[in-house]
């Protein structure tokens, strides 16, 4: 009875989503496009800007040329750079204070998914000051026009520059809150591959596998619209064909740009088709143990696919065909796809298991994963405690 309720809810919501006006950011891509931002802001009449970024960019001076151009354009800016690797509610409130103290009109996020997620929820708090992050958690609970947000991803992974979601950690109990609303999609996304050239190998690997997980989960989900499937398949192709090149040769700007674009397409896919149990488990594990989200996804994805089995064999077979893995039937193609995932993990020194997981925590991890996923995510097969716990034990 519960599965019938969940599927009905998912179906109705997927159809309703097609009736809701959605948007994608205005996409600006190419080497050096970061420096187009002052002109963009001038055209909008923005005079005061909150820049949300990470401490490393400030220390390295990477953004100084941009700051100089903002100054010459007459745009006042204030910088919030204390975003944690997993942004917390505390980060949101600190950045919000900066926004109000300087009477800012727009937000520029330059960084990885954590930075962009932080900026998006700051924008949500600006638009809905009466609502806390807790009260925004879930689907369509913001419903307001946010200030202009320009997202500049510096990792090719989260796709946060195009998604309608953000993940924020409550530092008091290590619970990850997922805020999802179409109004969170930034107005502009700038893909400048020059900003990713200095990424360390481990971050390149983790973020790419994060984006790949987005694409795979969106593609195999029930009721995924045609556009989501097309974007997901193209994301899988771009990421698989370029990830090892970018990993081995970080200065290869063409591979870097393709990874950014793959991450962007994967973000469009999950905005229209959502994620699934891989992400739900990864959020639970990351919240409790601090495991990097991309690493968690990389390890969990092949295990979840194996447990799904026949329920998504056809879809995985189609993805296997897209990257020319061969195979005479869906079962064989799925095996080859899962093997390829594990091969990429091994090639990029990602772990085979998540050794931090404690048996005593499996019930709590299971509870958190199910609370996030059911009944919202239109996964290939609806699981209960037994299946989630089995996956956790394999990890």
Convert the pLDDT of each residue in 122-171 to its tens digit.
999 999 999 999 999 988 899 999 999 999 999 998 899 999 889 999 88
Q: Which of 126, 123, 124, 108 is nearest to 53 (CA)?
A: 108
The two tokens of residue 16 are: 């309703």
Per-residue confidence (pLDDT) for residue 304, from 0 to 100: 98
Q: Which residues contact 243 (CB under 8 A, 6 or more apart)?
A: 204, 205, 208, 209, 212, 259, 344, 348
Q: Span 21-196: which CATH code?
A: 3.40.50.1970
Per-residue confidence (pLDDT) for residue 157, from 0 to 100: 87
Residue with tokens 């929820």: 121
One digit per residue, pLDDT tens: the chain, 395 residues?
888 888 888 888 888 777 776 789 999 999 999 999 999 999 999 999 999 999 888 888 889 999 999 999 999 999 999 998 889 999 999 999 999 999 999 999 999 999 999 999 999 999 999 999 999 998 889 999 999 999 999 999 889 999 988 999 988 888 888 899 989 999 999 999 999 998 999 999 999 999 999 999 999 999 999 999 999 999 999 999 999 999 999 999 999 999 999 999 999 999 899 999 999 999 999 989 989 999 999 999 999 999 999 999 999 999 999 999 999 999 999 999 999 999 999 999 999 999 999 999 999 999 999 999 999 999 999 999 999 999 999 99
Q: At what angle do helices 253-273 and 226-248 cross, to 10 degrees?
A: 150
pLDDT in tens, 297-344: 999 999 999 999 999 999 999 999 999 999 999 999 999 999 999 999
Instruction: Sketch the domain layout of the chain as residue ranges.
Output: 21-196, 201-394
Query: Angle 36-234-336 (CA atoms, 0-180°, nearest 5)?
Result: 140
Percent of residues, the chain, with pLDDT higher than 90 = 84
**201-394: CATH architecture:** Up-down Bundle (1.20)
């Amino acid at each position: 009875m519960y599965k019938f309720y969940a599927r009905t809810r998912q179906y109705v919501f997927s159809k309703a989503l097609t009736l809701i006006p959605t948007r994608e950011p205005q996409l600006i891509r190419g080497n050096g496009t970061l420096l187009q931002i002052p002109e963009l802001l001038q055209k909008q009449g923005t005079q005061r800007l909150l820049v949300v970024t990470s401490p490393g960019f400030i220390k390295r001076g990477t953004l100084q040329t941009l700051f100089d151009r903002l100054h010459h354009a007459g745009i006042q800016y204030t910088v919030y750079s204390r975003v944690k690797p997993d942004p917390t509610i505390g980060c949101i409130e600190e950045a919000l204070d900066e926004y109000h103290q300087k009477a800012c009109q727009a937000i520029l996020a330059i960084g990885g998914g954590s930075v962009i997620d932080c900026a998006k929820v700051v924008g949500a708090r600006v638009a809905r000051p009466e609502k806390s992050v807790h009260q925004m958690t879930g689907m369509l609970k913001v419903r307001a026009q946010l200030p202009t947000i320009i997202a500049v991803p510096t990792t090719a992974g989260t796709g946060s520059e195009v998604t309608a979601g953000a993940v924020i950690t409550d530092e008091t109990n290590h619970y990850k809150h997922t805020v999802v609303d179409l109004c969170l999609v930034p107005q502009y996304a700038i893909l400048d591959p020059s900003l990713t050239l200095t990424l360390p190998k481990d971050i390149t690997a983790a973020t790419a596998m994060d984006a790949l997980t987005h694409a795979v989960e969106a593609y195999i989900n029930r009721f995924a619209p045609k556009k989501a499937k097309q974007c997901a398949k193209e994301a899988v192709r771009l990421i698989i064909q370029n990830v090892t090149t970018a990993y081995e040769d970080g200065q290869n700007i063409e591979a870097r740009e393709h990874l950014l674009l793959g991450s962007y397409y994967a973000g469009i896919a999950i905005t229209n088709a959502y994620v699934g149990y891989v992400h739900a488990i990864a959020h639970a594990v990351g919240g409790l143990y601090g495991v990097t989200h991309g690493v968690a996804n990389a390890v969990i994805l092949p295990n979840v696919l194996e447990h799904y089995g026949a329920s998504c064999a056809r879809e995985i077979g189609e993805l296997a065909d897209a990257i020319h893995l061969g195979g005479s039937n869906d079962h064989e193609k799925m095996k080859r796809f899962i093997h390829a995932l594990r091969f990429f993990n091994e090639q990029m020194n990602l772990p085979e298991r998540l050794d931090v997981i404690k048996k005593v925590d499996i019930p709590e991890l299971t509870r958190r994963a199910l609370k996030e996923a059911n009944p919202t995510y239109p996964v290939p097969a609806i699981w209960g405690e037994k299946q989630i716990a089995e996956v956790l034990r394999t990890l």
